[in-house]
Amino acid sequence: MRTRQRLMDLNRAVCLECPEFQVPWFHERYCQQLQKKGNGSVSPVQQQIHKMLGEVLGGINFVQAAVITPYFYTVDFECKLDKHLQPLPYSELSTMQISDRGKVLWDSSSLENARDELPAGAQR
């Protein structure tokens, strides 16, 4: 297991640091398996920060917690901005999982969602 992890780290480092070598990323399936085994929970501190970022950006649907990058790094929080630096929503509020008390329900299913494409001029 340790050897496999080190090989994945090496493959990721070469892909990111030396793209001129054109080494393929061949650990996606392995990383997906690790992701499924992981607990995928968001800590209470992250939940509070997510709520505060949502208030600053105009709604909880403008920020996403525990985002997985294409090379399976985890980014604590992410928001999308349009070309005028205004926040873009990740989803409509009605499609998010919200409890009867108005709180967002936290689970690992949000980590499994594919990364959507950005509109022209937008940035993460």
Pair of tokens at residue 19? 């793209």
The structure tokens listed for 118 are 């950005």
At a CB cut-off of 8 Å and minimum separation 6, what does 86 contact?
A: none
Asked whether residue 96 falls in the same domain as residue 59, the answer is yes
pLDDT digits (tens, 9 = 90+) for 90-121: 875 433 444 444 444 444 344 344 356 778 88
Q: How far apart (Å, rounded) are the C-alpha atoms in residues 57 and 47?
A: 15
Same domain assignment for residues 32 and 49: no
* Residue-range definition of the domain harbouring residue 18: 1-38
Q: Judge if 56 and 105 occupy the same domain.
A: yes
| 24 and 46 part of one domain | no
User: Is there a single domain that holds both residue 34 and residue 45?
Assistant: no
User: What's the confidence (pLDDT) of residue 11?
Assistant: 94
Quick one: 111 and 61 in the same domain? Answer: yes
Domain count, the chain: 2
Distance CA 17, CA 33 (A): 24
Q: How many CA atoms lie within 13 A of 70 on its CB side?
A: 8
Q: What's the pLDDT score for residue 35?
A: 82
pLDDT for residue 22: 93
- Same domain? For 24 and 77 the reply is no
Give yes or no: residues 31 and 61 share one domain: no
More confident residue, 66 or 7: 7
H-state helical runs in 1-124: 2-17, 28-37, 44-57, 109-112
User: Is 25 in the same domain as 48?
Assistant: no
Q: Do 28 and 86 reside in the same domain of the chain?
A: no
Same domain, 58 and 109: yes
Q: Which residue shows structure tokens 């992981």? A: 38
pLDDT at 85 over 50: yes
Residue 5 has pLDDT above 50, yes or no: yes
pLDDT at residue 116 in the model? 61
Instruction: Label residue 34 by pLDDT band (50, 70, 90).
Output: confident
Tens digits of residue pLDDT in 44-82: 999 999 999 999 999 999 999 888 888 888 889 999 999
Does 48 share its domain with 70? Answer: yes
